[in-house]
Amino acid sequence: MVLTIKKIQHRGADRIGIFCPYSAGANQKLKSIGAAYSSTLRCWYTDYSTTNYQLLQKNFDQLIIENPKPENAKTAPVAGPESRDLPPIVTSASVDEKPDDGVTKFPEKAVEKAKQEHKAEIPLAQKLRLQLHENIGKYWVFSMSYHFAVTKELLTVKGIYWNKAQKVYMAMRNRTVKEKAEKILQVSGFFPTDYFEKEKAVEGGLELVVKPHADDNHWMQVFIPPMFLLREKIKRFAMSRYSVPHGCYLLPAAPDVYKALTVHYEPEKVIFKNLLTAGYLKKENMPNQKQFLLQKAKNQVLEKIPETGRGYMIAMMDSMLAGNMSDSTIKSYGNSFYRFMRDNDYRDPASMEYRQVVKYLGGLMEKGLSAPTGHTLVNALNYYYRHVENNLNFEFKLPRPKNEQRIRTVFTMEECAGIFGTIDNPKHKLALMVAYGAGLRVGEVVTLKWADILLAEQKIHVKNGKGKKDRMVMLPYSVLVLLENYRALHPGNDYVFGGQFAGAHYSKGSVQKVMAAALEKSGLSKKGSVHNLRHSFATHLIEAGVDIRYIQELLGHSSIKTTMIYTHVTNKAINRIQSPLDRLNLKTEDKNDKKNDKKV
């Protein structure tokens, strides 16, 4: 990993700015030495000191110092003949010729050198900070600073795309794309010659190695051959996670998991090399779903925190776990509190004054922070000061950002029918119809199991919904035949909407893509997602005259205030209202028409 470092000014002090391509391993190393990330400067930074520079040298093989001091340069005073800041001034005593009108002159050599440096053209690749990253599938991945002309020209090349999530460019690994891209970037040999060749089908003979996990015997290490299909399969395991330090996947060391692993890879005829010791696989090593999700949420937050701030975050995590908070709450509160600590250099939150915190929040809102994100941040801070600081009488009254009052997109019943009519795939159509017909969230749709559908009672049992609550909703009569036909096609699945691999449910992202494709195909000008079907469900019940309290129960809202947002003015209500101007019955005539009548 190559790092570029330079001296920067940040938060009123000198820092070592660290610029590098995205890498989970590099990020982890930087956190371990106490570096923090600046969203403003878009770089990592640490205090400007010899100790921190030596830590960077120790942890990274290659360091590029931007604008380094020449090797033969001597330490010089700020000003004077030896100064690096001011060039030596030539006076009448130091040169043979006399100064013109008493004006000081620079040495001719210095002037000539400055002219040469000024004329030297900086390569475009250096200006753009061009960096090549590890390949992803059939793409080369590279990053560069934004340049209007270059970026626009690059994206016109067929096979080059901008990845918004990772902030990188992706280029197809073929010869034509390489030649065109290097011509635009004005650099030859930037992309390697490892052109993409279609991956052959797995024909067997590949070796999959399973080892004990030295750090935690509740897990086993699984080393997968470098083939896309094989790696995608293990990613679909419910409790699979990748370990960057060990370069392998981790699975619970339970007999059922190992058996499932062998069954899943049996069609590819993979050779299993089992290096586990006798008795290593234990049934009790299999964590339940709740335990796994909580551990995953906790680890995702803690891996971002350097040692200087880890103690504060662990204290908050312990308090939230003791309070039986959900994994989503732990993740959202943890990420918000991490942002607060990072922006304040991981100092003790108890040492910060009220005005400092308010100023910090105001600065975030000034930068365009959304109101919901601001609310979550305030909730996280309130939780920390009340529960972690253990001061029950303390009330941290922070100003809450005002929510933007936006009109939610609601589809009419005719528009909903049009959306469903564009879908031919039975699975896709059924998923959207259940979301609308029962008012379910997209996460509740994909995790729906056949055991949760109570045909005799004509109800759906929604388990562990938002806020860790169960509820009962209606099962629409319209989907009964579709459900029966669909189950006959997919027997043996626990989930109603099964995923790509056995035992996994359909992903939320896939359902959202189905909705987006249906909207585009239907020709509607309205934009929306699966959640807008839930909004439409509630709005149509309001229009039908259903009591708001029943709608609250069906949607699973804790507070009636949340449900009241659906009492907004609907289209049907607007159509029934007559403008007072229309009731005046004024006869409006065009003066031009009268003039024309007179002429005739």
Distance CA 435, CA 443 (A): 10
Which residues in 451-596 belong to E strands, given as ranges? 453-454, 459-462, 471-474
Q: Are 244 and 28 within 8 A, CB to CB?
A: yes
Q: Which of 199, 206, 202 is nearest to 223 (CA)?
A: 206
* Exposed / middle / buried, residue 252 (Cβ in 10 Å: 0-12, 13-18, 19+): buried
Helix axes 426-438, 413-421, angle to 10 degrees: 160
**In the block, residue with structure tokens 């001091």:** 69
Q: Which of 447, 531, 549 is nearest to 495 (CA)?
A: 447
Question: Residue 553: how many CB atoms within 10 A of its CB?
Answer: 13
Eight-state DSSP code of residue 358:
H
Strand partners of residue 172: 139
**CA 493 to the chain's CA centroid:** 31
**CA 130 to the chain's CA centroid:** 24
* Exposed / middle / buried, residue 452 (Cβ in 10 Å: 0-12, 13-18, 19+): middle
Distance CA 442, CA 533 (A): 10
**In the block, residue with structure tokens 């909580």:** 294
Distance CA 155, CA 150 (A): 9
Quote the tokens at residue 90: 């030539």
Do strands 131-136 and 139-143 pair parallel, antiparallel, or not at all (unpaired)? antiparallel
Quote the tokens at residue 326: 């959900």
Is 10 a residue of the active site? no
Q: Phi then psi for 51, rounded to 5 degrees?
A: -60, -45
From the candidates 147, 466, 490, 508, give the one annotated as an active-site residue: 466
From the candidates 15, 298, 429, 557, give the one annotated as an active-site residue: 557
Distance CA 42, CA 518 (A): 38
Distance CA 45, CA 345 (A): 11
From the candidates 31, 178, 534, 535, give the one annotated as an active-site residue: 534
Is 566 a residue of the active site? yes
Is 45 a residue of the active site? no
Non-local CB neighbours of 35 within 8 Å, separated by 6+ positions: 18, 44, 45, 46, 306
Is 218 a residue of the active site? no
Q: Position 39: which residue type? A: S
Q: Position 329: which residue type? A: T
Element (H, E) at 36: strand 36-38
Active site positions, annotated? 441, 466, 531, 534, 557, 566
